[in-house]
Chain A
Amino acid sequence: AQSVTQLGSHVSVSEGALVLLRCNYSSSVPPYLFWYVQYPNQGLQLLLKYTTGATLVKGINGFEAEFKKSETSFHLTKPSAHMSDAAEYFCAVSFIQGAQKLVFGQGTRLTINP
């Protein structure tokens, strides 16, 4: 069965520091990969997605993620954290064949320290 694992339910960084949120998936078929962000008391917004082609994907608000097939990973990074980045981040995967559903990770809460 396909699954998504986000390492670390809570990540804390200083303002201006590198943000790294980890996501690994298990799948026997090629995936589509997503990162969503949820700000307090709001719904989920799409941050970026990988479908095909270039493995380094750029999203909104300066975030990017790299699809590494050999490592089955899709880690999210941002070079310099901003206070407004404080939110919960979800990695998700769907598949080219079959399933109409997204499989979500458990989420990582990002805290930014001044």
Chain B
Amino acid sequence: NAGVTQTPKFRVLKTGQSMTLLCAQDMNHEYMYWYRQDPGMGLRLIHYSVGEGTTAKGEVPDGYNVSRLKKQNFLLGLESAAPSQTSVYFCASSYDRGPYEQYFGPGTRLTVT
């Protein structure tokens, strides 16, 4: 099992450009999550999904959109990138029953100039 994979690993964008981050999991998990990690701020939840075709906002959703068209994939989109979105992005997944232990991908380092 590959677990949770993320594509790409690194990306540099100019302000105003758009991009999509792809997360894939092969554990048949119902729940998937997108976080951003910034120095001194821990992990902050951007959006999450409790099943195929469903999404919900997390703590810091502004400037991001997500889609869960297939159970195994969760896409995070930036429509118009801003320097404040420079961060490391992590995807995670979990089963749909307690204890909701999450499995994390390796991360995507995004720089917006």
Q: B99, A32: Cβ atoms under 8 Å?
A: yes
- Asked if residues A43 and B90 are in contact (CB atoms below 8 Å), the reply is yes
Instruction: Give every chain A residue within 8 A of B90 (Cβ-Cβ).
Output: 43-44
B residues sitting closer than 8 Å to A (CB atoms) are 4, 31, 33, 40-43, 45, 48, 50, 58, 90, 92, 94, 96, 98-107
> Which of B33, B48, B50, B98: most chain A Cβ within 10 A?
B98
- Chain B residues, Cβ within 8 Å of A43: 4, 90, 104-107
Convert A62-75 into 0s and 1s, putting 1 for each residue whose CB lies closer than 8 angstroms to a CB of B: 00000000000000
Return 7 A-B CB contacts under 8 Å, by A number.
A32-B99, A42-B106, A51-B99, A100-B100, A101-B45, A102-B100, A102-B102
Q: Assess the B50–A100 pair: CB atoms within 8 A.
A: yes
Assuming the A-B contacts A42-B107, A105-B42, A106-B40, are A100 and B31 also in contact, with contact meaning beta carbons closer than 8 angstroms in the complex? yes
**A94 close to B100 (CB less than 8 A):** yes
B100 near A9: Cβ-Cβ < 8 Å: no
Residues on B with beta carbons closer than 8 Å to the beta carbon of A106? 40-42
Q: Which A residues lie within 8 Å of B106 (CB)?
A: 42-43
Q: In the complex, which residues 10-44 of chain A have their Cβ closer than 8 Å to any Cβ of chain B?
A: 32, 34, 36, 41-44
Residues of A within 8 A of B100 (CB): 32, 94, 99-102
Known: A43-B90, A43-B106, A43-B107. A49 touches B42 (CB 8 A): no
Alpha-carbon separation in the docked complex, A96 to B43 (Å): 22
- A85-111, CB under 8 A of B: which get 1 and which 0? 000001000111001111011110000
The CA of A102 and the CA of B102, in the complex, are separated in Å by 8
Residue A45 interfacial (CB < 8 Å): yes
